[in-house]
Structures are given as C-alpha cells and as structure tokens.
Amino acid sequence: MKKIIILTIILLLTGCYNYKEVSDLAFISSFSIDYTNNNEFNIILEIKENNKDNLFSSYLLEGYGKTIEAAIQNASLSFNKNLYFINLDILLISSNAANLKLNNILDYVTRDNNFALDFNIAICDDSKGAIENILKKEEIFGRYINTLFKNTDNNVINIKLNDLLNSYLNHYYDIILPIINLKDNTIIIDEAVIFKNNEIIEHLNEKEISIYNILSNNLMDYYIHLELDNNIVFKTTHYNTKTNFKNNTLYIIPTLTGSYIEFENLNLNNSKELKRITEKINAKFNNEVEAFIDNLIKIESDPLGLKRYIKQKSLHKIKYRISTNIVLENKSLIFKSIGGK
C-alpha cells in the first residue's frame, strides 16, 4: 500500500504529469505594442529560435486585439508553443500607445510573473520595420538593441522596467524614454521623449540626452565639441553631479573629469592657454545645462526628479544655480601635440 501511495505521489507531484520540454517554449526577445486608430492593440513578438544550428535567428508573430492579451492570443493562434517572456530583451511602445495606454501596458508586464524585470523599454513608431531590418542581418533584434544600450560610447537613455515603474509611481519624477529610429536603413537611438502627466510632451536631441545622463549620474561617455578657431573635443572619463537645496535655491553642481582628445593648433604644454580653453569649455557647458533646465521648467516636466529636493509638485518658479566644473586629466600617450606650435 505504501509503495502505491509513494508511486502515485511521485507521478502526480513531481512534474511527470503535464510536463513541458524546453523546445515547447517560445522565448521572446522583443515585444512591440502599438495602439491603432481603431482602438485596437497591435503587437509584434520576436521569438528566438530554439535551434542549436540557428542560434542567431528569430521570427515574428503579429496580432491584433482589443486588449494586449487578446492581441497576443491572436498572434499565437496557429502557434504550437508556449510564449515565455522571462528572457525578454526589449519592449517597444509606439508613441500612440505610450500616450494612451501606458498604464495598461505597465500593469500587464508587471503583474505577470512570466515577464522578466531587466528588459529595456523604448519608444518606436516603426517597430516592424526596425525589427525586420535587423532580422535581415541574421541577428536577433532584442539582443542587438541590448548591445546598443550597453555600449557607453552611445549616449542613450537606458531605461529598464524597474526605472520606468519608479518614475511612473513616484510623483517627484516624470517619465523619460529613448526613441529607436530607423534612418537610412540603420537603427539609431539618438533621441528621447519626456512625459508630463503621462503624455509625451517633448523630444530630446543627442546633446540634451548627454546632459540628462550627466545630471542623473548615468555612466555614459560625453563629448563636448567646442567650435573656436581650433576645433576642440573634450571627452569625459567620468562625471558626478551633486544636487542640493539650500536657502530656497537649488544648486546643481556637475563635475566632468576628462581630457582633450582632438584639437587643432593648441599647445597643451602652455598652461595659460590650456586654462583659457578649459574656462571656455566650462562656460559653454554651463550654458548648455542652464538651457536644458530652463526648458524643463518651461514645460514643467521633471525627468531628473528635481522636485524631490524642493518637495514640491511643480518646477514652476523654482530658483536654481548651475555651477559646472571641469577637471583635466592627462591619459594621452604623447607629451607634445603633433603639429602643435
């Protein structure tokens, strides 16, 4: 009798019943959500091949539905595998879906334990074109985009689900998301959008993204191009921004540490000239940061979370002072500049 009970328990409670092989699972790498003018969700799923010989190939499923779940069901109608989002690399949301249905989307991907927590989120209005563009190169789109986000040479906004949820749920922050563009058959992430009251309000260009990354201490490389009589490029190796609120004024103090990597007709051994140039670079950078903060105050959107310092719900009439600081360090291999005076 004991043996029969043990055998029954083993067969019923150890996964022998109703088990699934790994090959029965469809691992999703990219998930794109659009909200159409017909008030329907249009979703695209990029599924990684479960095939040893085809490690870098994937295929797409597309579906429509009144809800996200209905659209996924519609996409997988003739599909014989279980969809598995635990290895999701990127979630692409169209501008329309972000403006109208961001709360639905966030709730859906957060509620289900089948989803990962560490995937990137970006705005993309031509996700099908973008994914197919990468598929043609026999690469997996999600994995490819992941490498773009990880590369600190690209000044991108790197937002993962946890960051987005934090901005969405924290009333001191407004959302910021990168945009994936398809330009001349190439994928580039050179723009971002910021939200106000959960609607897209402004686009940021590459320079503004760099300033955002510096002010929020996101580790990315930053280049300052100074167009004087001699083209000078200052490249940061690291930076740190301190922010504090004293005497009713917000002090923002970014410190950039780096070196000159490219210039014309500049003698780096002339300390006076070096100081003059550095002061100019500092002033230029200071102006750029000021313009950036002025714009945020004008549109009353706060992706930097400055409201948490002033403990107010609006940036309106905020007093602030920017004090940038450039620290030079020499990491070059040569003492003198080639061709320099």
Contacts to other proteins by CB under 8 A: 9, 13, 86-87, 110, 113-114, 116-118, 162, 165-166, 169-170, 172, 305, 308
Cβ nearer to other proteins, comparing 47 with 180: 47
Phi, psi of 229 (to 5 degrees): -70, -20
Return the amino acid letter for 137.
Answer: K
> Is residue 60 exposed (0-12), middle (13-18) or buried (19+ Cβ within 10 Å)?
middle
Least Cβ distance, residue 2 to other proteins (angstroms): 11
Return the amino acid letter for 38.
Answer: N
Cβ nearer to other proteins, comparing 22 with 338: 22
Structure tokens at 142: 């999600």
Least Cβ distance, residue 214 to other proteins (angstroms): 15
Least Cβ distance, residue 13 to other proteins (angstroms): 5
Cβ nearer to other proteins, comparing 162 with 312: 162
Calpha distance 265→339 (Å, rounded): 7
Structure tokens at 150: 């990880």
Report the 10 Å Cβ neighbour count for 309.
Answer: 18
Cα distances (Å, whole numbers) of residue 53 to 25, 49, 60, 135, 145 = 17, 9, 19, 16, 22
> For 142, left (φ over 0), alpha (ψ -120 to 50), or beta?
alpha
Least Cβ distance, residue 142 to other proteins (angstroms): 14
Least Cβ distance, residue 309 to other proteins (angstroms): 9
By C-alpha distance, which of 337, 309, 170, 158 is closest to 247?
A: 309
By C-alpha distance, which of 62, 27, 23 is closest to 48?
A: 27
Least Cβ distance, residue 57 to other proteins (angstroms): 21
Calpha distance 227→230 (Å, rounded): 7
Cβ nearer to other proteins, comparing 25 with 226: 25
Least Cβ distance, residue 243 to other proteins (angstroms): 10
Least Cβ distance, residue 62 to other proteins (angstroms): 26
Calpha distance 106→26 (Å, rounded): 22
Cβ nearer to other proteins, comparing 169 with 338: 169
> For 110, left (φ over 0), alpha (ψ -120 to 50), or beta?
alpha
Cα distances (Å, whole numbers) of residue 82 to 65, 76, 89, 132, 188 = 19, 9, 18, 23, 32
Q: Give the torsion through C-alpha atoms of 229, 235, 240, 245, to 10 deg.
A: 20
Cβ nearer to other proteins, comparing 166 with 282: 166
Cβ nearer to other proteins, comparing 44 with 109: 109
Cβ nearer to other proteins, comparing 311 with 341: 311
Cβ nearer to other proteins, comparing 165 with 226: 165
Contact residues for 246 (Cβ-Cβ < 8 A; gap 6+): none
Least Cβ distance, residue 170 to other proteins (angstroms): 5
